[in-house]
Amino acid sequence: MSSASLRELVHYGQIVATGEYKRYDYNSAQGNIDHYGLDFAPQIPLKHINSGADQVPIGMFVGQFDDLAVDADC
């Protein structure tokens, strides 16, 4: 398996399970309040990523033995 933290894998699972691209959900209102000031995990606004004057090219790279991505996604 590729190297990733447990939290990254849990977050990926949250995205897959809910179908929503949100920040990491701490599974408690208090945990989310502590991190986001909200009692829920906020959405990540993809339309704002890489927009505006500070645009930076984004690329996706896949390793030959990457279990979480396939060449077709790149």
Instruction: Dump pLDDT digits (tens) for 21-32.
Output: 999 999 999 999
Q: Residue 11's closest CA among 34, 49, 44?
A: 44
User: What global pTM score does this model have?
Assistant: 0.68
Domain tally, the chain: 1
28 contacts: CB under 8 Å, gap ≥ 6: none
Q: Which residue has the higher pLDDT, 41 or 9?
A: 41
The radius of gyration of the chain's CA atoms, rounded to the nearest angstrom, is 15
Asked, for residue 43, whether it belongs to a domain, the answer is: yes
Q: Which residue has the higher pLDDT, 13 or 4?
A: 13
Q: Whole domain around residue 38: which residue ranges? A: 6-69
Asked, for residue 1, whether it belongs to a domain, the answer is: no
pLDDT at 3: 65
Reading the block at residue 33, the tokens are: 């309040």
Residue 46 has pLDDT above 90, yes or no: no
